Amino acid sequence: MIEIERKFLVTSDAFKSQSFNKKQISQGYLNSNPERTVRIRISDDKGFLTIKGKGNETGLSRFEWEKEIPIEEARALLALSEKGAIDKTRFEVKAGHHIYEVDEFFGENQGLIIAEIELSSETETFEKPEWLGEEVTNDERFYNAYLSRNPFVFWK
């Protein structure tokens, strides 16, 4: 139930031609408090309820609990979400022994592309594709819950 993840900005759309899967994602937050976020997500035709805890001091690890829920329930809960829904396309890209999830955002977060990689330990090594840019793992501005409240298009 501990997620170990690193996040990076993406410098080009070269990842799209390397992608082996993509899906449309809409998500909202029932609670966007950084101490404990409660997220509702619709990914293609599936619904999910996710609870995440605050990250550790490195920002790499945090509690995560996720369950698939019926799509009708996910739609109903999404309608109850806080203002600031997230819409994105997620591309999955294999690099070495890992899979990057690359999110291209739309709506008020248009122009932002973030790659995430999940690891089995904080010290695990991984391949970095040429389109991977600056690491933003410990920058809360790039958390989806933050983006739902403070959209990328309004950043200066």
Question: Which amino acids are annotated catalytic?
Answer: 29
Query: Which of 154, 152, 151 is closest to 83 using CA atoms?
Result: 151
Range list of H helices, 37-140: 71-79
Distance CA 114, CA 103 (A): 5
Burial string for 69-100 (b: 16+ CB within 10 Å, else e) reads: beeeebeebbeebeebebebbbbebebeeeeb
Closest CA to 40 of 149, 146, 145: 145
The three-point CA angle 31-37-144 to 5° equals 100
Nearest to 128 by CA among 32, 42, 9: 9
